[in-house]
C-alpha cells in the first residue's frame, strides 16, 4: 500500500512458530490491512534463520501475504547479521523499528539503528533457557533505556523495566489482544477425544512452552495429590500441549510420580482449538507471566480457569469472580483449587461466564489503535539518547 503519509514499520520477530509475541504482531498486521481510517501502514516482518532456512512461521507469513525479510545467521552472536540489517534498514527506510525480544533489542541498540528510525521495543517477559538467552536478558539493561518507547504487557513487568533503568515516562502498558475464532464442529472435538482416549474423563488442559518458569512440574505434583483425593468427582486427566527444554524432565517426573495413565503430553501443536474444545478446566501454573495468549484463548473457549497469582495475571483475573487464583509453587493450593472446580459444576459455569466479559478489553481493533497511538507519540517525542 503506497502513500506519502504511510507509516513504514520494520518489525523484528524471533520465533519459528505462531505463538507468544508473534500473535499480537499478526493481529496488528491483520488490523492494519483492514483499516479504512487513519494513517496507512506499510509493514515488513523480519525473522532470523540459520543459513536462511525456512520454518513454520516463515511459511505461514508468506501464505498471509505479509512482506517478509529473512536475516541469515550462521551461529549465535553472528556479527555477519549487521551488514544485512544495515542494508535492510537503508532499503526500507522505516519510520518505526519494532522489536519483540532481547536479541533484537540488543542488535538494534548495538548497531545504532535507533538513530535511523524511532525505536519502540515490546517487552514480553523472560524465560529460563540457554545461557545465551539469559545473557541477552541481562543485556536489556543496556539496550532498552535507548528505546524511544518500551511497551510491556503488565504493570508488574513495568516495575521490572524501571529497575533495569528504563525511564518511567517511556514505558507503556498494553495487554495482548484476542480474536474470537468460529466455533469448532463438535465432530472435530469428538474425534480428538477418541484419538487421545479421553471419552470418559474430565480433561484438565495446560498449553504453553515447557520451560521452568511455566510451572508444569508443580502441576504434575498437584495432579498426584489430586489423584489421591477420594471425594473428587470424575476421573481427571491432564493434557499438556507444548514443547520446550523441560520436556524430557517433565516426562521423567510424570513416570516417577506414576501418572502415565492420567497425563498426556501432546508435544507442540500448530492448531490448538480442538484441545480447548475437549477441555473442562484450563490450568496455568506459571511462576512468571505477563498477558498470556493461552489465558485469553481459554477464556474465549468458555473454560473455567485455575491460575497462579503472578505477574500480570491478577491484573486480568479476579479471584472467585472469573478464575481461582493460587500462590505460585503452592502445590497443595493448586490441587485444592482443581478439586474444588471438579466437584462444583455451578462454580465452573459461573467462572466461565464471568470470564467472557474480559474479551471486550482485549479486542484486536483496540490493540491496533493503541499501538498506533504509541507510534505517533514516539515520532513526536524528543530523540532517545
| pLDDT per position as a tens digit, 226-260 | 988 755 556 899 999 999 999 999 999 999 999 99
Percent of the chain with pLDDT over 70: 94
Q: What is the pLDDT of residue 143?
A: 93
Q: Which residues of 309-347 are buried (b: 16+ CB within 10 A; e: fewer)?
A: bbbbbbebbeeeebbbbbebebbebbbbbbbebbeeeee
What confidence category does residue 318 fall into, taking pLDDT thresholds of 50, 70 and 90? very high
User: Which tens digits make up the pLDDT trace of 108-143?
Assistant: 999 999 999 999 999 998 766 556 666 777 889 999
What confidence category does residue 345 fall into, taking pLDDT thresholds of 50, 70 and 90? very high
CA atoms within 13 A on the CB side of 150: 31
Coil, helix or strand for 44? strand
What confidence category does residue 382 fall into, taking pLDDT thresholds of 50, 70 and 90? confident
Q: For the residues 21-45, what does the mean pLDDT come to?
A: 91
Q: Which residues of 235-261 are buried (b: 16+ CB within 10 A; e: fewer)?
A: ebbbbbbbbbebbeebbebbeebebee
Cβ–Cβ < 8 Å for 11, 98: yes
Sketch out the chain's domains with CATH numbers.
7-177+363-380 (3.40.50.2000), 186-358 (3.40.50.2000)
Cβ–Cβ < 8 Å for 49, 55: yes
What confidence category does residue 328 fall into, taking pLDDT thresholds of 50, 70 and 90? very high
Bridge partners of residue 121, in order along the sequence: 99, 150
Comparing 321 with 134, which gets the higher pLDDT?
Answer: 321
Pairwise CA distance, residues 377 & 288, whole Å: 30
Percent of the chain with pLDDT over 90: 75
Q: What is the pLDDT of residue 37?
A: 76
Hey, what's the cell of 154? 503488565
Pairwise CA distance, residues 281 & 48, whole Å: 37
What confidence category does residue 182 fall into, taking pLDDT thresholds of 50, 70 and 90? confident
The yes-or-no verdict on residue 105 having pLDDT over 70 is yes
Q: Residue 380: in which H helix or E strand, if any?
A: helix 364-380
Amino acid at each position: 500500500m503506497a502513500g506519502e503519509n504511510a507509516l513504514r514499520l520494520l518489525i523484528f520477530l524471533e520465533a519459528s512458530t505462531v505463538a507468544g509475541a508473534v500473535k499480537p504482531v499478526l493481529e496488528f498486521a491483520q488490523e492494519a490491512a483492514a483499516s479504512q481510517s487513519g494513517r496507512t501502514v506499510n509493514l515488513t516482518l523480519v525473522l532470523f534463520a540459520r543459513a536462511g532456512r525456512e520454518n513454520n512461521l516463515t511459511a505461514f507469513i508468506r501464505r498471509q501475504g505479509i512482506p517478509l525479510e529473512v536475516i541469515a545467521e550462521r551461529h549465535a552472536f553472528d556479527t555477519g547479521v549487521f551488514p544485512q540489517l544495515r542494508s535492510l534498514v537503508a532499503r526500507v527506510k522505516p519510520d518505526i523499528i519494532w522489536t519483540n525480544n532481547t536479541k533484537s533489542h540488543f542488535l538494534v541498540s548495538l548497531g545504532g539503528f535507533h538513530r535511523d528510525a524511532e525505536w519502540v521495543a515490546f517487552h514480553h517477559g523472560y524465560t529460563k533457557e540457554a545461557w545465551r538467552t539469559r545473557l541477552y536478558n541481562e543485556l536489556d539493561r543496556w539496550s532498552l533505556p535507548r528505546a524511544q518507547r518500551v511497551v510491556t504487557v503488565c504493570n508488574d513487568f513495568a516495575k521490572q523495566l524501571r529497575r533495569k533503568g528504563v525511564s518511567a515516562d517511556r514505558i507503556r502498558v498494553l495487554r495482548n489482544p484476542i480474536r474470537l475464532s468460529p466455533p469448532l464442529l463438535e465432530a472435530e472435538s469428538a474425534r480428538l477425544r477418541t484419538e487421545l482416549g479421553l471419552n470418559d474423563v474430565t480433561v484438565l488442559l495446560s498449553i504453553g512452552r515447557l520451560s521452568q518458569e511455566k510451572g508444569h512440574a508443580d502441576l504434575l505434583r498437584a495432579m498426584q495429590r489430586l489423584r489421591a483425593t477420594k471425594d473428587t468427582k470424575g476421573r481427571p486427566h491432564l493434557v499438556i500441549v507444548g514443547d520446550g527444554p523441560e520436556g524430557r524432565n517433565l516426562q521423567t517426573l510424570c513416570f516417577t510420580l506414576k501418572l502415565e495413565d492420567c497425563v498426556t503430553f501432546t508435544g507442540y501443536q500448530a492448531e490448538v482449538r480442538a484441545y480447548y474444545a475437549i477441555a473442562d478446566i484450563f490450568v496455568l501454573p506459571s511462576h512468571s507471566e505477563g498477558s498470556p495468549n493461552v489465558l485469553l484463548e481459554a477464556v474465549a473457549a468458555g473454560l473455567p480457569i485455575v491460575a497462579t497469582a503472578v505477574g500480570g495475571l491478577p491484573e486480568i483475573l479476579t479471584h472467585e469472580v472469573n478464575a481461582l487464583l493460587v500462590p505460585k509453587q503452592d502445590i497443595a493450593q493448586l490441587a485444592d483449587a482443581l478439586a474444588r472446580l471438579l466437584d462444583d459444576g455451578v462454580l465452573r459455569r459461573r467462572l466461565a461466564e464471568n470470564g467472557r466479559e474480559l474479551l471486550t478489553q482485549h479486542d484486536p481493533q483496540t490493540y491496533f489503535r493503541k499501538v498506533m497511538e504509541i507510534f505517533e507519540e514516539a515520532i513526536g517525542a524528543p530523540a532517545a539518547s
